[in-house]
Amino acid sequence: MESCLLTGGAGFIGSHLLDSLLERGMRCVVVDNLSSGSLENIKHWLNHPRLKFFPIDLLDFKGLLKVLRRHTCDTVFHLAANPEVRVSSVRPQIHFQQNVVATYHLLEAIREVGGVQTFIFTSSSTVYGEAEVTPTPESYSPLMPISVYGASKLACEALITSYAHLYGFRAIIYRLANIVGSRSKHGVIVDFIHKLRNNPNELEILGDGTQAKSYLHVNDCIEAMLLGAEKSRGKVEIFNIGSEDRVDVKTIAKLVIEEMNLKNVRLRFTGGVDGGRGWKGDVKYMLLDINKLKSLGWKPKYNSLEAIRLAIKEILNQA
Question: What single letter denotes the amino acid at residue 13?
Answer: I
CA 188 remoteness from chain centre? 14
Cβ atoms 65, 2 nearer than 8 A: no
Q: How many residues does the chain have?
A: 319
Partners of 238 in the β-ladder: 173
For the beta carbon of residue 158, count every other beta carbon within 10 angstroms. 11
- CA 304-243-89 angle, to 5 degrees, is 80
Catalytic status, residue 167: no
**Choice among 104, 140, 149, 174 that is catalytic:** 149
Half-sphere exposure of 139 (CA within 13 A, CB side): 2
Closest C-alpha among 217, 218, 88, 204 to residue 155: 88
* Radius of gyration from C-alpha coordinates of the chain: 19
Q: Indicate which residues carry an active-site annotation.
A: 149
